[in-house]
Structures are given as C-alpha cells and as structure tokens.
Structure 1
Amino acid sequence: MLNKIILLLSLQISLLGTTFGGNVLIWPMEGSHWLNVKIIIDELIKKGHNVTVLVASGALFITPTTSPSLIFEIYEVPFGKERVEGVIKDFILTWMEHRPSPLTIWRFYQEMAKVMKDFHMVSREICDGVLKNEKLMEKLKKSKFEVLVSDPVFPCGDIIALKLGIPFIYSLRFSPASTVEKHCGKVPYPPSYVPAILSELTDQMSFTDRVRNFISYHLQDYMFNTLWQSWDSYYSNALDGSHWLNIKMILEELNQRNHNVTVLASSATLFINSNSDSPVNFEVIPVSYKKSNIDSLIEHMIMLWIDHRPTPLTLWAFYKELGKLLDTFFRINIQICDGVLNNPKLMARLRKSRFDVLLADPVTICGDLVALKLGIPFMYTLRFSPASTVERHCGKIPAPVSYVPAALSELTDQMTFGERLKNTISYPLQDYIFQSYWGEWNSYYSKVLGRPTTLCETMGKAEIWLIRTYWDFEFPRPYLPNFEFVGGLHCKPAKPLPKVLWRYKGKKPATLGANTRLYDWIPQNDLLGHPKAKAFITHGGTNGIYEAIYHGVPMVGVPMFADQPDNIAHMKAKGAAVEVNINTMTSVDLLNALRIVINEPSYKENAMRLKRIHHDQPVKPLDRAVFWIEFVMRHKGAKHLRPAAHDLTWYQYHSLDVIGFLLGCVATAVFLVTKCCLFSCRKFGKTGKKKKRE
C-alpha cells in the first residue's frame, strides 16, 4: 500500500514539472519593452513552446535570429529604422526639454501631442502591415497559435488575436496615470491615495498633492481619450460590406441552380475576396487607388454622420462635408468605370462570355453602362437612396410627400403638420443634392454612349429593381410592377450554437463587466434564433434588423450613420424597438432601454408579429430574387413591367402640359364670357339710353 502511495505521489510530482509544446505569437514593442519580452520568449522556448514574433521591416531594436523554436515573421511597412529612431528621439527630447511642472505642463502636452500623433501614424502603418496583408494573415491562421502575447504600447495586438480567434494577454510596465489599466483593465485607482504614474507623487500626499493627483488622472484620461478616437474608427468596421453580403447570397443561390456567375471587382475592393476558393468567377478591374483610400472614405463618412448627424442646426455643416465626400467617391467610382469600359481586353472577354443579364448595385455607378455596351438587360439590387431620389427620378416610383416619409428623415407614415413640412422640404433638398452630383455623371455617360443622355435616363432602363426590404419593415406606399421587395433574403433558420460565442469589432468598452466577453466574430443569426435570446442591441443595419425580425427578437437601437437611424425609426413605429442616442447615452440609458424591451410584453409581441408577417410569404425572399433574375434571362428583359412614365418628360409626367392647356381653355372661356358680358352690357346700356331719350 505504501509503495502505491509513493508511486502515485512521484507521478503527481513529475506531472507538475511537465508542459505541452504550444504555439505562441508575440506582438512586441521596441526598446526596453523588447528586452523584457525577449526574456519571456527564452523561457517559453526552454519549456518546449514554439514562438513566432511579428516584426516590422523597419524595426529598430528587434534583430531576427535563427532558431528551430523561434521564428521571426517579418512584414513590410512603408518606413525605415530612421523613422522609428526619430520618433523615439523626439519623445526623449520633449521630456528632457519640457519636463512636466506647473509652469511647463501646457507646453509639455502641446509638444507631446505632436510626438504622439507621429507615433500613432507609425503604429497605424504597422497595423496595416499585418491586418491588410492577406497572405500573412492566412499563414498565421494556418499556424494555429494558442495565445498571443502583446505589448499594448503598440496597438493592434488584440485585434490580430481576435482575427485569429485566439486569446491574448498583455505584458506592460504602465500607462500614464494608469489610464489603460483603469479604463480597459478595470483596475481601481482611488486618487485619494494611489499616485498617478508619472506624477512623481507617493501614497503619502498632502492636500495640495491630492489636488495635483486628481487633476493628473483626469488630464491623462482626456489625453488618452483624444488619442483613442482615431483608433476607435480603425478598430471598428461599421459597414461590414452589407451590400456585398446580400448580392453574395443571390450569387450563391444562382450558382446552386447551375448558372455561371462572374463578378466584376476592383483590385482595391475591401470586402470581396477574389482569391478565395469559390464557384463564382472573378474579373479583377485594375484601379490606381488603394484599399486605404476606401477605408479612409468609409471612416470619414461614419465620422461625418456621428459628428454632424442631420438636425435643423447641423444640416448645413452636414451637407457641406457630404459634398466633399461625394466628390471623393466620384473620383474613385470613375476609376472603376474606366477600368472596365476603357479596357478593350476585358470588354472583349465579357462579350465572348455571352452573359444573359447583369445584376448591379447602383451605389457603385456604371453597371448599367457595362450592360448597354454588352447589349444585355440589367437589374438593380438596392436598399434605398436618400429620399428615394434614385427610385423616384430614375425608377419612376411614386412617393406622395403627404404620407410617404423620405428615406433618412426618420419619419413615419403618421406625420403631424410639422413633420409633413419637414418631409416636404426633405424631398426637394435631396433632389437638389443629387442633381448637383449627377451633373458630372451625365457628361461621362454621354461621352461613353456617344449621344446626349443622363445618368438617370440610363438607370431608368433597368428591367427589375430588387429592393432589400419588405412590408414587415416598410410603411404602406405605392410601388410599380417592376419593383420587387426581397428584404431578409440572407436570413436562415438558426443552427445549434457553438460552445464559444464570438462577435465584436472595436475598442473594448471601459464599463464592460467582468462577466462579459468580446470577440471578433459571432454567429449572429444563430444567436438571435436561440430561444433564450431576449433582446438585440444593434447599430440598426438592415441586415441585422432583418435577422431580428426573422427570429422575432425585440431591439435596442444605437444607430450611428446612413440608414441606421431611419431603420430604428421604422422599428420604433412598429413597436419592436427602443432607441438610445449614441452621442448622449449613458450606461443607465442603455440599461433602462434593455429593461423596457425585455420586461414590457408588447415589444416581444410586436417582434413576433413582424416575424409572422415575414414568414407568411408565398415565396421566400431569396427565391423571389432569383426567380426575377431568371425571368429576365428567359425573356431577355421585362419591358412589359416597365411603366410608360419613363417615356414622358417631367412636365408630361406631372400632366403640366394638360393642366396648362386646360387652364388656357378655362382662361380663354372666361375671357370670352367676360368679353361677351361686357359687350352685352355696353350694347344693352346704349339701347336703354336711347329709349330714355325717346
């Protein structure tokens, strides 16, 4: 018995000293930071682990070495060692020349802000060097790392880990006033006795010291929040390629029905992976701009909407900035058009392919021109245009301002007099903006087609318009036979949930509880379909809203930009959502909104009512979309559904010529009757005078 106990004890002791050989990824920092991480790396290798270090080509202190268990993965960045050395030198000199004191503190932070701006530019280029390097990211995924060790002085280690689907840990000395540790790590730092790092104070503070300490914490919080703002937009990817997501679902269904599908994608596309193993063919359009240009455009659009969300007070500033973005978008879009239409080899290949139909998203202009050049019919798939300008002017869909709210106005079909006034102004305002934007396109279209024409006239030749909403979302309104509503075509029945739920992009909220985990990806559709899903906190994108409708889950909307505020307004009107303003919200506001949605039965009942409406369709949305594409292919178009309104001028469409003619007739009749009356009065008046004289 004693021998067995000794044997068991020996086995346990031996197991305590054993380790498994894992794969560790390192996201390092320069200087003394690297020295400390290197010691950890050496110890990990001693314990039998394989370590890979991500190193920028412009790294100053990190020297790659050759070792079986230590791999240096070098990625390219657009700067050399001198740039890193310059940033470090500026940082040291700023500290030496303007060491913080009551007299120099303002000057110190002015200079430090310049240094930190340069540092963050370098950091951004380092992040891009990994995250936008598809080959490297694919290689890292295949390596199946168990953990990432990061130094948070260089951002992006966390997002790389999330992209790879692995946990990450931090190794750091401090952040000024422990800002990162406080807000991100949730470490408590009472300013009454915990001295702010870099303040040179101790835990034995006089009243003056505590005042200084209190100010130090808040000053550093302000500094870091200012710096973090640019990273927030970098970490967040708000659009998520929602336009491509919907088209991709249609393409996959077409492919399953034995159709050959070809996608025209620019070389700088953000969301369309033309290198993936896919049954869909890709024709890459060469363009001179880069993905970073698209990234920047999207980032500016999001920030514009958040900073200048249209209100009566901010309307002018909003549209002024929007005009600049539209000009940038025009120049990018022109390159895409030229990349196809002025590419004889590509156009020749497309003609030889003998396509039956072209499916386009009108947000990216020129799909219609390509179709006309190839001599094939074309269709549109879209969510909306501001105030339905494209649908009204180019698709000729009627939109009475008295009860059809302008898209993006956040109005419903139940409007007060003031709201109808706002709606009436919204329509012509958006018309004016679009007409100004279309001017350059009209010239481009006329040049390509070799005859005077307009963008809107060409768009009006679309056979079918597939609108990505349905009557569970829309307010009742008139529409035309060549408009089909296919909202929710991407929705599917929920699959069983995995043990781990993943989905979060962006900075970790400072107030996040310890019982909440954030990840880069989550099966949102499956999660919403789980019977225990009580509410959905959403930014208000159409795709997410439709998944909530599909599964009957009430919503708390925190809209940010574009159609999101309008979408949440629709859901509020349907009684299935509560809105929280992202610019003014507090944790209490969000908590109260959640309590309302979860505890008041009407929200769940309304969400379930919308679910029943959505599911009670004769044909599923995806099947309806594919049916109409195949219909156009079979019949070489759908001209019989196209209203004659397209053949009328604007004054004929509104019957102004008829009204003018009738008014002319009435005026002529009134004139003649008046003349006759005057003539009769004069004549009878003269006769009466003669009789009196006689």
Structure 2
Amino acid sequence: MHHPFGVFFTLSLLFLVSPCSGGNILVYPVDGSHWINMKILVEELHAKGHKMTVIRPSNSWYIKENSPLYTSITIQIKEDFRDVFDLYLEEQIRVQREGASLLSFFRLNNQFLTMLTQAHELWCDIAKDIFENETLVKHLMDSKYDLVLADPVIGAGVILAKYLNVPLVLNVRWVTRGEGHFVLAPSPLSYIPVPGSGLTDKMDFIQRLKNIFFHSVLKFQENMVLPIYDEFCSKYIEGGCSIFSLLQQADIWLFRSDFVFDFPRPTMPNVVYIGGFQCKPAEPLPADLEKFVQSSGEHGVIIMSLGTMVKALPKDVTDEMAAVFSKMPQKVIWRHLGDRPSTLGNNTLIVDWMPQKDLLGHPQVKVFVAHGGTNGVQEAIYHGVPVLGIPLFFDQYDNLLRLQERGAGKIIELSDFSGHTFGEGLQKLLHNSSYRQNIQRLSRLHKDKPMPPMDQAIFWIEYVIRHKGARHLISEAYKMPWYSYHSLDVLLLLLAVLMVLLYSIYAVFRFLCCRRKRKTKPKQN
C-alpha cells in the first residue's frame, strides 16, 4: 500500500502538469536483462499513448521484431555476441573456483576487457550499418522523434541522439565506462567504492589505496574501449565528439538504483532515481505452483534463480546444491536449464521459468538464492525476502555486498563454495530472524516514497517531451577540460605566484645582506 501523501502528491502532479500528448519516441536498447528493464518502460509509455520505435539487431535474443507495443527497425547482423559471452562466463567461473590471487585477478580482468572490446566493436558495427543506410537515415530524420530513450552501456544510442539533434533520456545504471555516477557526478574515492573493488563506503587507509588501484584499472579499460567510437564520431558528427561528453549532455538519467539499496554519494539534478521501478505487488500463482508452495507447510519455500543470462553452473556445483536442498525440510523451486542434477530430492521442483516476482511476494517463500543481478536484488528488497548470493560476474558481488552490509543477505563466492558452506548459509538465513527483519525494514523504506518509481520515470520522460529537453538541469562541466574541472590550472597559477613571491622575498633579502656585507667590510691599507 502506498503512503496517503504519495497518492495525494501523484494526483496533484496530474492536475498541475500540462498533459503530454502522445510523443514519438525512438528506443535504442541493449539485449539480455537490460532489455527486460527497457521493455517495462516501453510497455508503460505505450499504455500512456506514446508511439514507440525500437532499434534491434536481427539476431536479438529477447527483442522481438513484431510487437503490439512498438514498431521495430531491424539491423541485419551476422555475428552473435552470445557466443562471446558464454565463453567469457565459462572462463570466469573456472578462474573464480581456483581461488583469489593476484594472477587470477589479472586473468579475470583481461578476460573482461577482451569480452568488452569485442562487444563494443560489434555494437559499433551495428551503428555503422544504421548510419551508412541512407534510406534508413532519411526515415529517422523524417520521423521527427521527440526523444531518444537509450541504454548507455553502448555508445550508439547517444551518438544517434546527437546526430538527430533530439533530446536524450538514459535508462541507466551502467555506461560504456562503468557505473554511471562516475561520468556525471563528483565521486571522491575516499568514501565511494569503485565497482569491482568489493569495498563499502567505510574504508580504512589500505582500502582507500585499493579503491584508487581499482579506479586506475577501470580508467585503463576505458582508455582501451572508448577509442573504438572515436572514428565513428569523427565521421558522422560534425566537429567530432566523445562518448564521455555526450553522456554528460543527456537531458535526464533514469537511474536504476536508490539510496535504500546504494551507499549515499553526491549526485546531480538531472539524475532521477527509479530503483525498483519494475516491482509490483505479487499476483496469484498458477494453480499447480500454488499447490506445491502450500505443501511446504510451516517450513516454507526456498527459490533459486541465476537470471536470464546463466543457463547453469558446473555439474559438480549443481549436484552439491541439489544434495543440500534434498536434506532440507523446506520445498525448493529452482530455475535450472542445465542437466538434471543426479542428487535431486523429492522436495525440489526444477523449472525452466518461474514467476519470480509473484513467488518473492508469497508469504511462504523464506529465502531467495540468487546470482545478485540488479533486478533480482531490487525485487527481493521490494518483497522483503533475504538473499543468499552466489555472484558470478559484472556488478553482482557489489549488489550483494550492499545487502550483506545491511544484514539482509549473505554472500558465498564460488572459490569458497561447498555443500557445507551452502547449507550453512541457508540455515543462517532461515533461522536467524535478523536477516528477514533487516530486509523487511529496507522494503518499508523503499516503498515509503511520495511517488512510485515508475510514475517518476514516466513523468520525467514526458517532461522532456513537453519542454523539448531539460537543458537547465545539465551541468556545464562537460565543456571543461579535465584540468579545469579539477582546477589544476588555477592551482598551478597560484603555485607559480607563490614561488615567484617567495623567490622575490629571497632575492630582496639576499640583496640586502650582500649590501650590508659590502658596507661593513674593513678597508685594506
């Protein structure tokens, strides 16, 4: 239930804000779990009467060519990024299981950089196909879009918005160079952990040193990846451009996070926090699933899912998981696409798909075993279910760390995984009531807002359409070179003035001392 003030506030906005007639919106998404987020926005915008056009590759995994929600523009592409990702994930899991070491760290980062470079090269090729198709470019220009809604984890959407000279709204948490805040807002490394560092906002000296090291690694990766777009920008954007400055010029950032989930940090006026915008109250389960859930009695249910991108963990890991599950009094619903575990118990139901949101909202569900993707973590917070996390790649460890720091979840890394650690983790979350109490507190904080996150997202998209942008919210910092942004030029000038002043004082004293010596020197006979 929403707070009464929130309902009043929302109704007030509806009356005070001038209505937005259906806008013409061009969507440039990213496939996989990113599209699942974007599609929810597309559905809501379509329901509000906006005309939606979605750019998609011909071999898309999830973005359908024909949809009642949108008109699609399909770009023919032969290469499949899924093959690159599957190889990356397989190697990530293998190296992580070997245990943490300096060698494994550099191997994992090298694999990530290779995968990232291949991905951006593929996405850049797709963008080139768009710009080199004169018929398509003319169609895009003639369509006179009111707004481009883009996922900035790739650079093509922001470049296209610049080329069409159309306001840009970003559906964002990650960008081409890492976490979005690091592009837009002041990010002091003394208390803002760099993604991948495994740190919190409370750091001692050694941890701050580690944080700076990880920031250097990210800067190195950025310098290796972003030049992929330089030639593209120079060719199609008059005067050239950089992805970094184009991101800073975006009108609104719809940021898929909030400060119930994330650590407090500086932000900017055009950042709108919509963490959990995809969350809704649970709906009734299908009859057969409801029967299975109810059969758990007082012990309840454990659910497990590793998201849309991961088919299965290695066989020995899944066999150990199944063996632990089989000895528990709880019932288990497990989304698993790999080979059927040999140790599977009668209490465990294997499914290809499950209504995750509706299960998380069911009172019988006690624990969520997850990989730590943003969507799953935010849904767990919304419904108040503690999380046992097994992070695999990208931001998953950092997401789970935020829950663990707040006493709402526990992490088991693959290098530490065993039947014993897995069973022990489950027992802690099931029988230590503080985990449930803590995540239910986060749930109450998340829901206690004047306006639901989805309503806020739609309001700001329509705001940009109504006012043809939101330039008054954009900082002019993007026009400044890095040395001016950090006032290094001012500092150097002040240091130079100080040095001249000190030298002048020294020269005066030296002159006076020398003159005095000459006057007091005894005359020779």
State the TM-score, normalized to the length of structure 2. Answer: 0.81
2:493 maps to which residue? 661
* Amino acid aligned to 1:296: D
Does 2:247 align with 1:459? yes
C-alpha deviation, 1:389, in angstroms: 6.0
Deviation at 1:323, TM superposition (A): 3.1
Residues in 2 aligned to 1:632 and 1:518: alpha-carbon distance in whole angstroms: 45
Residue of 377, 380, 398 corresponding to 2:167: 377
Q: What does residue 301 of structure 1 align with?
A: 88
Aligned equivalents of 2:124, 2:375: Cα separation in 1: 28
1:248 to 39, 49, 74: 39
Inter-partner Cα distance in structure 2 for 1:682 and 1:476: 60
State whether residues 385 and 391 of structure 1, in contact with CA within 8 Å, keep that contact through their aligned partners in structure 2. no
Conservation of the 8 A alpha-carbon contact between 1:554 and 1:603: yes
Query: What are the Cα deviations for residues 283-313 of structure 1, in whole angstroms up to 9, with x where unaligned?
Result: 1122233xxx222022123223323347533
Mapped to 2, the partners of 1:510 and 1:615 lie a distance apart of 42
Rounded Cα–Cα distance in structure 2 between residues aligned with 1:397 and 1:579: 29
Q: Tell me what 1:151 maps to.
A: none
Query: In the alignment, does 2:428 pair up with 1:596?
Result: yes
Listed as ranges, the gaps of 5+ residues in structure 2 are: 1-29, 290-332
Out of 499, 508, 523, the residue aligned to residue 287 of structure 2 is: 499
Cα distance in 1 for partners of 2:521, 2:178 equals 68
Number of residue equivalences: 449
**Whole-angstrom CA distance in 2 between matches of 1:371 and 1:389:** 21
Verify the 8 A CA contact 1:386 1:406 in the aligned structure 2.
Answer: no
Q: Secondary structure at the match of 2:287?
A: coil
Aligned mates of 2:120, 2:251 — CA distance in 1 = 25
Amino acid at match of 2:72: F
**How is 1:358-397 mapped onto 2 (pairs within 5 angstroms)?**
358-385=148-175, 388=178, 391-392=181-182, 395-397=183-185
CA change 1:386–1:267 in 2 (3 A) is: closer
Equivalent residue number for residue 357 of structure 1: 147
Cα deviation code 1:646-684 (max 9, x no counterpart): 111110001000000000110011001111111121222
CA distance in 1, matches of 2:191, 2:69: 45
Look up the equivalent residue of 2:367 and give its one-letter code.
A
Q: Indicate conservation of the 8 Å contact 2:153/2:174, yes or no.
A: no
Contact 1:389 1:431 in 2 (8 A): no
1:443 aligns with 2:275: no
Deviation sequence 1:533-556 (CA, Å, 0-9, x none): 211111111101111100111110
Structure 1 unmatched ranges of 5 or more: 1-238
CA RMSD of aligned residues (A): 2.1
Counterpart contact for 2:152–2:174, Cα < 8 Å: no
How far off is 1:328 after superposition? 2.0
For 1:127, the equivalent position in structure 2 comes to: none
Instruction: After TM superposition, list the pairs within 5 Å mapping 1:581-620 onto structure 2.
Output: 581-620=413-452
- From 478, 486, 492, the equivalent of 2:274 is 486
Q: Aligned partners of 1:643, 1:607: CA distance in 2, in Å?
A: 36
Matched residue, 1:421 = 209
The alpha-carbon distance between structure 1 residues 352 and 477, as it changes in their structure 2 partners (threshold 3 A), is same
Residue 631 of structure 1 aligns with which residue?
463
Normalising to structure 1: TM-score of the pair?
0.62
Deviation at 1:240, TM superposition (A): 9.0
Mapped partners of 1:554, 1:390: distance in 2? 27
Q: 8 Å contact 2:196–2:214 — kept in the other structure? A: no
Deviations 1:336-376 (A, max 9, x none): 10221111222222222221000111123211121122221
Query: Which has the greater radius of gyration?
Result: 1
Instruction: Give the counterpart letter for 1:254 in structure 2.
Output: L
- Structure with the bigger RCO (C-alpha within 8 Å, sep 6+) is 2
In the aligned structure 2, how far is the partner of 1:426 from the partner of 1:577? 25
Structure-to-structure mapping, 1:46-61, within 5 angstroms:
none
Identity, in percent, stands at 35
* Contact kept in structure 2, 1:384 and 1:407, CA below 8 Å: no
Q: Equivalent of 2:137, from 334, 344, 347?
A: 347
Q: Take 2:101 and 2:144, find their aligned partners in 1: how far apart are those partners?
A: 49
Q: 1:417 offset after TM fit, Å?
A: 2.1
Q: Distance in 2 between matches of 1:422 and 1:587?
A: 32
Where 1:534 maps in the other structure, the secondary structure is strand
CA distance in 2, matches of 1:294, 1:668: 59
Please give the secondary structure, in 1, of the residue aligned with 2:375. Answer: helix
Cα displacement (A) at 1:437 = 1.1
Are the equivalent residues in 2 in contact too, given 1:568–1:577 (CA < 8 A)? yes
